[in-house]
């Protein structure tokens, strides 16, 4: 007969939850700098560059005086988002935090929101390839509170630790780039790419503007010089394309990609990205081309997806959930 060990019942604990205040700047950044699932996007200097566009509703979760979790967030009416100005979000946690603790933390967060007349919370999860540690505790909690999966984006990601098989189409572009004597240069400023390539292209094709203005991306570059990098491709000293990348430890993410009308003839973007993948960032682990989705994940730009997959990119999904905050009570009986 087996004698199973007896475990102490997990104490029902209520964590203190409060809104982030400007005086918490150092406290927040100190915590996120050593969290198991944070990137530089969660630094307050990054979050606050567009503070005029969002009503910040970021939360600190405390055990006494100790921060045990933070939630980058903004508010729109009776809904809180984790955070609309960031590519991903959710609960940011300590490396040693266990699932049982996360359940209680998330319960405290939802209860705080509910008591402050927030009816819904929209969670944009962080893809696991960004993380150095497994961190699916929030996904489990979302299941328990009957969160609704209302969007799923397909990201195109290259695993740089494995042999990369480039499609013939992409290699043809690389050959064109060599034939046209293209040159890739890393630049310290964004003005040329923004003014000559990115802004005109977005206006012509989508009647839109870059998410970041030149002044905003320059400010962020000054804050995070090693994380935000600009690469331009030239033909005879004339810019014909470029890309802005965000570097998060082991992951390189393409934030902006754009080439002028000669890109198919010169192979500018194929040449540029082949150079970045095989030379500049070959020591990193993943190259994230981002999504090719439209209409909240329901449609795919097949031409864009085809181009990204030509570099050996594979699909990783990113989930978006809608939670009713009143369901915090469902977390009260999970632990026994």
Summarize pLDDT for 143-195 with one digit per residue, the tens. Answer: 999 999 999 999 999 999 999 999 999 999 999 999 999 999 999 999 999 99
Is the distance from CB of 60 to CB of 27 less than 8 angstroms? yes
**Which tokens go with 287?**
């190259």
Burial pattern 308-324, b for ≥16 Cβ within 10 A else e, equals bbbbbbeebebbbbebb
- pLDDT of amino acid 13: 72
Q: What is the pLDDT of residues 40-89, one digit of tens each?
A: 999 999 999 989 999 999 999 999 999 999 999 999 999 999 999 999 99
Burial of 45 from C-beta contacts in 10 A (0-12 / 13-18 / 19+): middle
- pLDDT tier for residue 312 given thresholds of 50, 70 and 90: very high
- pLDDT of amino acid 4: 40
Burial pattern 72-100, b for ≥16 Cβ within 10 A else e, equals bbbbeeebbbbbebbbbbbbbbbeebeee
- pLDDT of amino acid 12: 58
**Which tokens go with 38?**
């944070």
Q: Percent of the chain beyond pLDDT 90?
A: 91
Q: Report CA-CA distances (Å) from 49 to 53, 87, 255, 296.
A: 9, 14, 16, 25
pTM: 0.93
Dist CA 296 CA 280 (whole Å): 33
The pair phi, psi for residue 155, each rounded to 5°, is -90, 145
What are the start-end ranges of the E strands in 72-227?
74-76, 79-82, 92-93, 120-124, 148-159, 183-187
């Amino acid at each position: 007969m087996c004698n199973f060990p007896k475990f102490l019942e997990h104490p029902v604990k209520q964590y203190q939850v409060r809104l982030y205040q400007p005086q918490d700047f150092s406290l927040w950044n100190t915590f996120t700098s050593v969290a198991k699932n944070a990137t530089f996007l969660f630094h307050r200097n990054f979050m606050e560059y567009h503070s005029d566009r969002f009503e910040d509703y970021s939360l600190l979760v405390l055990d006494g005086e100790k921060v045990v979790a933070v939630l980058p967030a903004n508010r729109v009416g009776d809904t809180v988002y984790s955070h609309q100005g960031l590519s991903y979000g959710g609960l940011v946690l300590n490396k040693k935090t266990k699932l049982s603790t996360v359940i209680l933390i998330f319960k405290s967060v939802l209860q705080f929101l509910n008591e402050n007349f927030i009816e819904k919370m929209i969670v944009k999860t962080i893809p696991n390839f960004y993380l150095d540690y497994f961190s699916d505790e929030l996904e489990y909690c979302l299941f328990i509170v009957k969160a609704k999966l209302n969007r799923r984006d397909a990201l195109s990601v290259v695993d740089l630790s494995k042999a990369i098989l480039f499609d013939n189409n992409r290699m043809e572009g690389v050959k064109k780039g060599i034939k046209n004597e293209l040159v890739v240069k890393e630049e310290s400023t964004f003005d040329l790419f923004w003014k000559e390539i990115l802004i005109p292209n977005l206006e012509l094709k989508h009647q839109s503007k870059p998410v970041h203005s030149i002044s905003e991306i320059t400010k962020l570059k000054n804050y995070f010089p090693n994380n935000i990098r600009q690469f331009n491709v030239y033909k005879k000293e004339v810019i014909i394309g470029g890309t802005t990348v965000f570097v998060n430890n082991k992951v390189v993410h393409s934030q902006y990609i754009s080439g002028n009308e000669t890109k198919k003839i010169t192979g500018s973007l194929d040449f540029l990205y082949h150079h970045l993948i095989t030379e500049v960032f070959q020591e990193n682990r993943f190259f994230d081309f981002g999504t090719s989705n439209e209409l909240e994940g329901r449609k795919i730009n097949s031409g864009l997806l085809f181009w990204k997959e030509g570099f050996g990119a594979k699909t990783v999904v990113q989930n978006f959930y809608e939670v009713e905050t009143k369901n915090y009570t469902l977390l009260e009986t999970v632990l026994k």
